[in-house]
Amino acid sequence: MIALVDANNFYVSCERSFKPALEGRPVIVLSNNDGNVVARSPEAKAIGIKMGQPFFEVEELISEHNIAVFSSNYTLYGDMSARIMSTLGRFVEEVEVYSIDEAFLNLKGYESVYPDLVALAQQIRATIAQWQRIPVSIGIAPTKTLAKIANWYVKRQPAHNGVLLLSDPVDIEARLQEFDVKELWGIGHRYTSLLKRNGIKTAWQLRQCPDDWVRQHMTVNGLRLVYELRGTPCKMLELEPAPKKAICTATSFGHLVPDLKNMTEALTTYVARAAEKLRRQHSAAGVMTVFLHTNRYRRSPNGEPAKQYYNSRTVQLPHPSASTPELVGYAQAALTSIFQPGYLYQKVGVILTGLVPDSYIQKSFFQADPSEDLLKLTRIVDKLNRRYGRDKVRLAGQGFSPTWPMKQKYLSRCYTTRWSDILQAD
Amino acid sequence: MIAERDFIPAEDIIKASVSSKLLIPFFQSYVQAGFPSPADNYLERVCDLNDLCVTNAEATYFVRVTSDSMFDDRIEAGDVLVVDASRDPVEGKIVVASLNGDHTVKRIHYSRDGVVLLPANNKYKPISVKAGDDFRVLGVVTYVIHKPM
C-alpha cells in the first residue's frame, strides 16, 4: 500500500504555525513579487478569492474581510517542508518527496508493524500537528494514482477526519465512478477533452477502457495510469531526486524596468545563481536561453492594454560550461541582442538546458577548452558565499545597489533559519 | 504545486538546528605529565553543541525571551530558549505557549480549575487559562542559552 501525505494549504499553514492568532482568520499568500494569490486558507476561499488571482483584484477585500496577506517566504516553507519530510522518515523507510508539500510513503512490508494503516496515518497526522503545527491529509491505496484520489476525497470531505484508506474493491469502484477524469493525476486539458469526446467522463469509465485504445490515444503513460486505477502499481517511488534537466532562474522585478543597465545587472545575478545550482549538482550546461517580457496586465493611462514585447534568444555554447564568468558573457550578449528600448520590462530570465555531468564535458576541436582556472575560481567563490552569505563575492556586473529586487511587501519572519527572526516570548 | 518547486532556491532550505555547527575537539584522556597516552593519537570525535541541546531537530524551535517574568528560574530577557515540541508539557515543566495569539514562557501547572501559567518573578501574577481562551503549548523548554554579563 502507498500513502500520500499532503499538507493542507501549506504556505498558509506555515504562516499560522508561528502566528496562532491567524487561526480562523482568512489568510492569503502571494506569489513571487506579490503578483498573484498562490495559497488561501479555507476562510479566504469562502470569500471567493481564486487561486492565481492577481493581487490587485482582491486588494479592496483585504480590509473589508480582515484578510492577513503574506509574501511567499520560501525560506520558511522550505525549512518546514524539510522538517515534515524528515518526520515522515521516522515512520517508514521509503519517503518520496514529491513536492514541497506532498510525499508518498511506501507502506509495503509494514503490515506486521502497523496492522491498522488508518491508525498509523492518524498517528502521523498527530505528530506533524504537534511537531510542526501543520495539518496534513493522508490518502492510502494500492497505487500512487489511487492514493492521490483518496487524498482528493480527504481534502473535500471533512468526515474522513484527515485520512482515507481505499483498499476494498467495492469502495474503490464507488469512488472512481464519481471521480471526474479531469481531476486525474497527469491528465491535462488535451486528454480531458479527448476523453470527454469519447464519452469517458469518470475515472471508472477510463479504467474500463481496452488497453489497446488507451495505448493508441494516450501513449504508454496513459496505459500506466489505467493500470494504476486498476490497482496495479506502475509508478514506483522515486527516492533519489533525479538531477534537474533544466535550470531556470527568473523573478519578476519589484517595479517595471526600462533600461538595459538594470536588466543586465538582474540577468547577471540570475545567471550567477543558476551557475551555482549547476555546480552544486555537478552539471554543465550546453545551451542557454535568455528571455524578457513586459507586464501582461499593465494598461496605458488611456485604459488600453500597454504596448507589449516578448523575446528570447537561445545560444548553443561551444562547450558545456558551469563557469559563471563564461555563462555571464554569453547571457549579456544574448540580452543585448534582444533588448528593445521603449518598453517597461517586468521580467528577465535565463534557462540552462543541455545539461551534462561536469566530469564528462566533451572537448571542442576548434574552440579553446573551458578554462580550468576560471572553474576553480568559481568553486572558491561558491565556498565563500556559502560561508559568508549569498552574493558576498560577486561579479561587478551584478551591481551593488540593485533597483530591481523582488517586491515582498508582506514577508513574514524566517522563524527557523535566522537568529534575528526567531519567535519571541515574554 | 509541483510548479512551485523550482522557485525555492535550494540554498534557502536550511535547518536551523544544523546550519551552524560549532566543532570543538574533544580529547579522550586528560593531559598527563610524562609518557603521553597513545590514545591521544586518535581524536575520538568532535563535540557538537547540537548533540547536547537539540535531541529532536524536526521539532526544535529557538525562541528569544523578551521579559524578566521567569527571572527566578534563571531565564532572563535576551536569552534564547531551546524548545522541543515533541515533549509532553507535563506538570511543572517550563513551556513556551501561545495564549490568545501571544507567545509566553511560563511554568505549567494543571490545577483542578484548569491550566495555570506560573511566572518565576513576584512582579508577575499567575495566568489562569479561561474557557474560550485560545491556548496551545508550542513545546517544552529543554535548554536556556544565556550570555553572561
* B66 and B83 share one domain: yes
* Region class of A173: left (phi > 0), else alpha (psi between -120 and 50), else beta: alpha
ipTM of the complex: 0.72
When the pLDDT of each residue in chain A is averaged and rounded to a whole number, the result is 87
Rg (CA), chain A: 25
Statement to judge: residues B40 and B94 lie in one domain: no
Any B CB within 8 A of A123 CB: no
A380-393 residue pLDDT tens = 888 887 777 777 77
Reply yes or no on whether the pLDDT at A395 is more than 50: yes
Compute the Cα dihedral for A357, A359, A365, A366 and give only its sign.
positive
CATH of the domain at B104: 2.10.109.10
What's residue B34's pLDDT? 54
Q: What is the pLDDT of residue B65?
A: 96
A383 touches chain B (CB under 8 A): no
- Does residue B38 share a domain with residue B9? no
Examine the domain organization and report whether B116 and B68 are in the same domain. Answer: yes
Number of domains in chain B: 2
Instruction: Give the tens place of pLDDT for each residue, A194-250.
Output: 999 999 999 999 999 999 999 999 888 889 999 999 999 988 777 666 666 777 777
Interchain contact, B105 vs A426, CB within 8 Å: yes
| Pair (B70, B113) in one structural domain | yes
Q: The domain containing residue B96 runs over which residues?
A: 4-17+56-145
Contact A83 B134 (CB under 8 A): no
pLDDT, tens digit (0-9, with 9 covering 90-100), for B110-123? 999 999 999 999 99
Residue predicted with more confidence, A187 or B26: A187
- Please identify which residue in the block is written with the cell numbers 491505496: A141
> Would an 8 Å CB–CB cutoff place B138 in contact with chain A?
yes
Q: Which residues of A touch B1 (CB under 8 A)?
A: 10, 99-102
- Under the banding of pLDDT at 50, 70 and 90, the label for residue A84 is very high
pTM beyond 0.80: the answer is: no
CB A281 within 8 A of CB A275: no
- The full length of chain B comes to 149
Which residue stretches of chain B have pLDDT < 70? 1-45
Identify whether residues B135 and B70 lie together within a single domain: yes
pLDDT tens-digit series, residues A1-57 = 999 999 999 999 999 999 999 999 999 999 877 888 999 999 999 999 999 899 999
Indicate whether B108 and B46 sit together in one domain.
no
Q: Point out the residues of B that are catalytic.
A: 69, 106
Chain A 155-194, CB below 8 Å of chain B: which residues? none
Please tell me which of the candidates A10, A133, A423 has its beta carbon nearest to residue B103: A423
**B90 and B122 within one domain:** yes
B85 and A98: CB-CB below 8 Å?
A: no
Cβ pairs bridging A and B (under 8 Å): 122
Q: Nearest to residue A266, comparing CAs of B128, A258, B57?
A: A258
Highest mean pLDDT pick, A40-54, A256-270, A372-386:
A40-54
Model pLDDT, residue B29: 46
User: Do residue B39 and residue B104 come from a single domain?
Assistant: no
CB A251 within 8 A of CB A32: yes
Residue with cell 503574506: A70
